Structure 1
Amino acid sequence: MNKKSFVISGGGTGGHIYPAIAIADALKEKYPDANFLFVGASDRMEMQKVPKAGYAIEGLWISGIQRKLSLKNLLLPFKLLSSLWRSFRIIKKQQPTIAIGTGGFASAALLKMAGWMNVPTLIQEQNSFPGITNKLLAGNAKKICVAYPGLERFFSKEKVVLTGNPIRRDILNERISSAEAAHYFGLKEATKTILVLGGSLGAKAINELIAAKVDFFKANNVQVLWQCGELYFERFKHLATDTLKVVAYIDRMDLAYSLANCIISRAGASSVSELAVVGKPVLFIPSPYVAEDHQTKNAQAIVNAEAAFMLKQDVLATEFENTIVMLLNDSKLIEKLSVNFKSLAKPEATKDIVAEIEELIKD
């Protein structure tokens, strides 16, 4: 068997990075002697997260189109040419067995060049509505692994495989006790806990909501583990108390999920997939600012299955408190949501994606 070489690209947000790392980890178990190289955008968070996971990464000078009128858009053609040329050099040097993309602008340059150089490509689409990158790459892709049914309306039916989204291995660890989790975060084991997630960088609307509801949480004897994001930590850290833990980022999500009685979250695809495995009551507050409003579509699919609640940002002021009280105290509702959400989970997604990769690269 020839030694395998995998080039993997996905970045910009944790929703692209963590699936890429999960796939790499599973491939490494299958091919421990293989070469692995990640390719990302040189100024985005993958440049820190990927090395922390134990993999080498090369950065491209690439970014997306600014939705507002901006001089930065004038640089886009130069960035694209630079990224394609660098991708060419990376592929020529690495001689990858396959190129794998999980979304983000860096993966567009890398996988497009890989296709031109006759390297087989596989893309993984996390959302119920595909991003522009994967739409552009679909023509050359050998396989397209998706998390939601019905994406044949965007991609060639013969390429699409319904696998689900890769889940970080630590999330699948069910042996963690709530006592261990409470000790880790400096919170109380016996007190009802709300976990607040706004994405790795943070969500302004969610953060402002939590800041405005400090007295509500206190009055209801609820403690809060609040990941406010790296962009907002300095603004909100002064609100921390013994029962309100404010952190920029949570590295041990397995512990956070174990401690939570209820979770408030954006509705990025990777978050939705993880939360299905966790099976706790969830209030989704989708971002209205993402392409094609795909977070609302992601959340609505779960709400339609009676597996979670969703509130749009414009009704938070009037409906948030009653919703949270129900999610914390209505035992029949909590049980129904848990059962329904777990029925949607695909904990074997990473293994199924790796099986598709193996099929493409078998000697």
Structure 2
Amino acid sequence: MVYIGWRGDHGKDLSRRYRIFDRVHLIPAGKYRRYHGQSLINKITDFRTMALNIRDFFRVLAGTIVSYRLLGQIKPSVVFSKGSFVAVPVGITARLKKIPIITHDSDSVPGLANRIIGRWATLHAVGQAKGAYSYDKDKTHYVGVPVDERIKPVSVSLQRDYKRRLGIPIRAQLLLIVGGGLGAQSINRKVAAIMPRLLTYYPNLYVIHFSGSGHEEAVKESYRLDAADNKRLNVIGFSNEFHIYSGAADLIISRAGATAVAEFAIAGKALLLVPASHLAGGHQIANAKEIVKNDAAAMLGDEASANEYYRTVSELLDDQTKRQALASNLGRLAKPRVSQQLARLILDTAKSGG
């Protein structure tokens, strides 16, 4: 199994982290930058973005030349694309060399890379229901989204065990805020604004806020709490054991990225989703709407005020029956055997030659 990544990322570390890769290769590649909701005038006058896109067009050409030589050496039986921009030069090369292509889309709106190379794909594996995609339905397989193998359904006893491991009283309510990643500053800011009221009104509430490594200090400074309330709040940049924190939570505030939501679905968690409105294609908004349509999560828009955050969070903390219903409905959307299904599709395609 060979991994092909972008020259400039940390692809070489993958061979050390995951021994499944026999080799790791890095190639030049470029992305096409565009922003959801940006007007035509803004696109035309955004000269910096235009210049970067022109530069990256030539990087795609360079990556295609390198890929052509590389795939000639590797002679793969199948190419699997998760949809990052580095998949474009590899996918173009696979098409030229008549190598079968399988795409996988986690979000309900396919990424640009998979939309480009998907026209040549033998199969499309998708993370959401088939109806969300414009792919040929006969070639499309609804498998779900691969997640950390440590993620599993969280029973009441397991949730209590997770709380004990985190030093949180088992009878306390735990609010988990996932504010890491680019564009999460609005969540961080609004949650910080309502926190004094929440902790005062709910004396049995504990809060853990994942800020992202680059924002930890700024988020800590944004909370203005007295010493007693501060003991019930913990700001964390990053943890390799995130599944323990999410498993312990009674309510989670999160963006609507497909992988995170898939993990919460398997665990069976109550969610308040705040989809990122700035991302290209509006895929998080589409993800969240699909989940809310199934009554499997609550949702706030990116433009929601701090008061709207407080009102929605309070309603969910006060209503255990509502939280349990959301968690149960989200759990029904879970696809726990994604990796096995994907592996079978890849192996069958490799054996049949597409």
Shorter-chain TM range is: 0.7 to 0.9
**Contact 2:103–2:124 (CA<8 Å) still a contact in 1?**
yes
Cα deviations by residue, 1:318-360 (Å, 9 ceiling, x for unpaired): 3211211222231221221122111111112222222211221
Q: Secondary structure of 1:273's partner?
A: helix
Aligned length: 328
CA distance in 1, matches of 2:262, 2:158: 22
What residue is the counterpart of 1:65 in the other structure? 32
Report the CA distance shift for 1:172/1:205 in structure 2 as closer, same or farther (over 3 A): same
Aligned twin of 1:143: 123
Q: How does 1:178-327 map to 2 (within 5 A)?
A: 178=159, 180-182=161-163, 184-185=165-166, 187-201=168-182, 203-219=184-200, 220-221=202-203, 222-238=205-221, 241-327=230-316
Cα distance in structure 1, aligned partners of 2:232 and 2:8: 35
Deviation at 1:233, TM superposition (A): 2.4
The residue number in structure 2 matching 1:102 is: 82
Partner residue of 1:38?
A: 3
Superposition TM-score, scaled by structure 1 size = 0.81
Structure 1 CA distance for aligned equivalents of residues 220 and 66 of structure 2: 40
User: Is the CA contact (8 Å cut-off) linking 1:288 and 1:296 kept in structure 2?
Assistant: yes
Indicate the SS of the match to 1:307. coil
1:108 deviation in Å?
A: 1.8
Change (3 A) 1:227 1:60: farther
Question: Equivalent residue of 2:80, what SS?
Answer: strand
AA of the residue aligned to 2:173 = K
* Post-superposition offset of 1:202: 6.2
1:57 counterpart letter in structure 2: V
Q: Distance in 1 between matches of 2:104 and 2:262?
A: 14
Tell me by how many angstroms 1:81 deviates. 1.7
Match of 2:144 in 1: 164
State the Cα distance separating 1:292 from its structure 2 match: 2.2
Contact 1:171 1:253 in 2 (8 A): no
Distance verdict in 2 for CA 1:86–1:188, change over 3 Å: farther
**Unmatched segments (≥5 aa) in structure 1:** 1-35
Deviation by residue 1:68-87 (Cα, 9 ceiling, x = unmatched): 43132231122112211222
Amino acid at match of 2:303: D
- Structure 1 residues 183 and 310 mapped into 2: Cα distance closer, same or farther (>3 Å)? same
The superposition leaves residues 265-317 of structure 1 with CA deviations (integer Å, 9 ceiling, x where unpaired) of 11111122222212211000000011221111111111111111000021232
On the 8 A contact 2:6/2:86 being kept in 1, the answer is yes
Report percent identity of matched pairs.
24
Amino acid at match of 1:217: L
Q: Distance in 1 between matches of 2:66 and 2:32?
A: 20
Residues 126 and 140 in structure 2, CA contact (< 8 A), matched pair in contact too: yes
Name the CA distance, whole Å, in 1 between partners of 2:329 and 2:11: 33
Pair 1:53–1:181, CA change in 2 (3 A): farther
Is 1:83 the equivalent of 2:63? yes
CA distance in 2, matches of 1:45, 1:189: 39
Secondary structure of the equivalent of 1:255?
Answer: helix
Q: CA RMSD in A?
A: 2.5
CA distance in 1, matches of 2:180, 2:66: 30
Asked if 1:129 is matched to 2:109, the reply is: yes
Select between 37-46 and 351-360 the one with higher mean Cα deviation: 37-46
Write the letter of the residue equivalent to 1:43.
Answer: G
Tell me what 2:41 maps to.
Answer: none
Number of the residue aligned with 1:339: 328
Q: Is the 8 A contact 1:99 1:120 kept in 2?
A: yes
Equivalents in 2 of 1:291, 1:248: separation in Å?
26
Structure 2 distance, partners of 1:152, 1:286, is 17
Q: Which amino acid aligns with 1:166?
A: P
Q: 3-state SS of the aligned residue for 1:57?
A: strand
Verify the 8 A CA contact 1:41 1:60 in the aligned structure 2.
yes
Counterpart amino acid of residue 138 in structure 2: E
Give the one of 158, 162, 167 matched to 1:177: 158
Verify the 8 A CA contact 1:201 1:230 in the aligned structure 2: no
Q: Is the 8 A contact 2:183 2:276 kept in 1?
A: no
SS in 2 for 1:118: coil
* Aligned position for 2:343: 354
Distance in 1 (alpha carbons) for counterparts of 2:18 and 2:164: 25
Change (3 A) 1:180 1:87: farther
Please identify the structure whose Cα radius of gyration is greater.
2
